[in-house]
Structure 1
Amino acid sequence: MSAAPVARQRRHTLYFLDEIRGHKPVFLDTEVDMTRIEEHRTAGRRTSVLSYVLYAASRVLASHPEANAAIHGRLLPRIARYSSVSGKIALDKRVGGRRVVLAAVLPRLEETALNEIQRQVEYYRDGDPATLPEFAGVHTLHRLPWPVARLAYTRTVRPLSRRAGKFGTLAVSSLGHRPVDGFHSVGGTTLTLGLGRVTDRPVVRRDAVTIAPVMRLNLAFDHRVIDGAEAADILGEIKAALEDFQEDAPPGPAASAVVAGKGGGR
């Protein structure tokens, strides 16, 4: 046996997990017939499933302002509702020779075209975290002394006024490039989507069984912010938006920018 301090490159993950301990997640899942998505992918530029889900889910979430929100506080909890949808994606990267998870936030997704979402996904997917300016803050955390870094992280992400820019208002994580059918995670947002692989499975259409590409779509929602009925509606609407995908579908109505309580800081 050997024991050693946690690698500096993993500090941001530990800080994040500590920060979201107050979440009260409940988990839902469904299956999505991806036939329409696969047809759309072969008809034009090769676009990732992640981009399709970000596109569809952001438009659904824009029509559910109660869920496009964040909560903070235990004794006097306050909820902030945001005027646009910011999507956080998880990235499998190497930093200083260690494999770690990094996160990037894509702003105003509900009004962003599919090809632009794909461009942003590729920017973060293919970019070197050592040189991308968006990850400069993470590198700073790794260099600071442990107590100072933890305090700096908390002060940066905890205020509700900054939460959407740091955590997003919707988190999407995909393991579809692995032999994983489905998984649940908590991304620090009211809604977190987990994407499994797309694989051929039997489905029923017009009273007949056929084979179709199917994806398991998992949803974790923070029960402090919304209840199960609304979460189930959101999951169902995302499923429908993917199964009947329309790239020119208009975005949902803008969410309310009102922040509950006085002020908008914490």
Structure 2
Amino acid sequence: MEIKIPEVGESIVEATIARWHKQDGDRVGKDDLLCEVETDKITLEIQAETDGILSIKVKEGETVRVGTVIATLAENVGAENAATPPNKSTPSGEEKNPAAAESAAEEEPVAEKEPASGNTSAAEAKPPRKEPPAADQKPSAKTSTPATEERISRQPMSPIRRKIAERLLAVRQQTAMVTTFNEADLSRIMELRRRHRDSFQQRHGVKLGLMSFFIKACAEALKEFPEVNARIDGNDIVYHHFYDIGIAVAAAKGLLVPVIRDADLRDFAELEKILGDLAERAQTSRIELSELEGGTFSITNGGTYGSLLSTPLLNPPQSAILGMHAIQDRPVVRDGQIVIRPIMNLALSYDHRLIDGRQAVEFLLRVKALVEEPEEMLLEL
């Protein structure tokens, strides 16, 4: 039975064998994990469809086209098993070759006699003792060479990392990306989460996080600023009348952006459940290709790792992305008084070819207003 690189999408034409979980010649059972295959978007796990003996055709690290046979499974293993015992029943070649056995036996005493002969003559003992003197080993060039080589290592980029590099470079070369900044007072959201944290989790089985508030806020703001939800296609502007929002997730092998479909139609509990599921599967390489495609807007949260401010890069062909950051208690002026509030810096990167500066600033101000007064979203005002 042939094992091939499966077709997972029209845009994927090749894949790299990331890791074989079985060795060549291993007996495998149905549904056993055979290998992990990396494409420029996702990692696939290939399992055995039947029992058999594995014969690997493509080694780890090799890149091949979709449809290539990477291994075979010999399903009729009974005859092979019957043939293997005679091959394994001849472990001692000495029995069939007495001369080789005798020569091996003769070599051992010779090795044992060398130290004995060294004790009989001081002149003969000196040469072997001169080989490992401490004085010669300290400045030896031979010992410094491996140390120098170990300071540098090289390995090929994974397909996902190569694709990320290509896309990020394309953002710089093919868009007119600009970033505008603001900050949001999250006092009310933090208070809402504190007051309803336990009851929300008991009722819905998930925690009430920050991201769901920002997804709802962005979905509402996108309805008011359609250019931010649009994209450029040649000389045309393509407007999306739906709100599929991508959420950046740092996976083990690179950044992935799974998409929440129709985010504007989801309530907070739905959003939190979808977020948890997508993030978990993205981090464990179980995300589907279809879940990474088709977003109209993206959100990334560098605050998870402590970032205070950044300029997030666009996720082509989208025209805008919101960057969230770490929350800090800062002194601010409210009603003429200096008070301490939880403040988050916000950054909106956008393609200036499509979105004017005024539109970008007003969009970000609208997001700011919605997260600072979340009652409007909760009551759907």
Specify the TM-score bucket, using the shorter chain as the normaliser.
0.7 to 0.9
Deviation at 1:223, TM superposition (A): 0.6
Unaligned stretches of 5+ residues in structure 2: 1-151, 201-206
Q: Does 1:108 align with 2:259?
A: no
Q: More helix by proportion, 1 or 2?
A: 2
Map of 1:87-98 to 2, 5 A cutoff? 87-94=245-252
Q: Which residue of 1 aligns with 2:238?
A: 80
Q: Is the Cα–Cα contact under 8 Å of residues 186 and 344 in structure 2 kept in the other structure?
A: yes
Letter paired with 1:248:
L
Map of 1:162-181 to 2, 5 A cutoff? 166-181=293-308
3-state SS in 2 of match to 1:181: coil
Q: Which residue of 2 aligns with 1:48?
A: 209
Distance 1:226 1:123, change over 3 A: same
Match of 1:117 among 236, 260, 271: 271
Q: Is the Cα–Cα contact under 8 Å of residues 129 and 135 in structure 1 kept in the other structure?
A: no
Bigger relative CO (Cα 8 Å, ≥ 6 apart)? 1
**How many angstroms apart in 1 are the aligned matches of 2:211 and 2:282?**
20
**How many angstroms apart in 2 are the aligned matches of 1:50 and 1:211?**
23
Q: Is the Cα–Cα contact under 8 Å of residues 249 and 282 in structure 2 kept in the other structure?
A: no
Q: Is the Cα–Cα contact under 8 Å of residues 278 and 287 in structure 2 kept in the other structure?
A: no
Q: Which residue of 2 aligns with 1:13?
A: 164
Match of 1:221 among 337, 344, 350: 350
**How many angstroms apart in 1 are the aligned matches of 2:176 and 2:294?**
17
Larger Rg: 2
Map of 1:181-192 to 2, 5 A cutoff? 181-188=308-315, 189-192=318-321
Q: Which residue of 1 aligns with 2:155?
A: 4
**How many angstroms apart in 1 are the aligned matches of 2:283 and 2:337?**
49
Letter paired with 1:181:
L
Letter paired with 1:175:
G
Letter paired with 2:228:
A
Q: Is the Cα–Cα contact under 8 Å of residues 326 and 345 in structure 2 kept in the other structure?
A: yes
TM-score normalized with structure 1 length: 0.75
Letter paired with 1:86:
D
3-state SS in 2 of match to 1:3: coil
**How many angstroms apart in 1 are the aligned matches of 2:305 and 2:282?**
22
Q: Does 1:197 align with 2:326?
A: yes
3-state SS in 2 of match to 1:226: coil
Q: Which runs of 4+ in 1 moved over 4 A?
A: 128-131
Give per-residue Cα distances to partners, 1:204-245, cap 9 Å, x unaligned.
111000001000011111111110001111010100001011
Give per-residue Cα distances to partners, 1:111-154, cap 9 Å, x unaligned.
211221111111112235556342489xxxxxxxxxxxxxxxxx
Letter paired with 1:79:
I
Deviation at 1:179, TM superposition (A): 2.2
Deviation at 1:167, TM superposition (A): 4.9
**How many angstroms apart in 2 are the aligned matches of 1:84 and 1:13?**
26
Q: Percent identity?
A: 25
Unaligned stretches of 5+ residues in structure 1: 138-164, 252-266
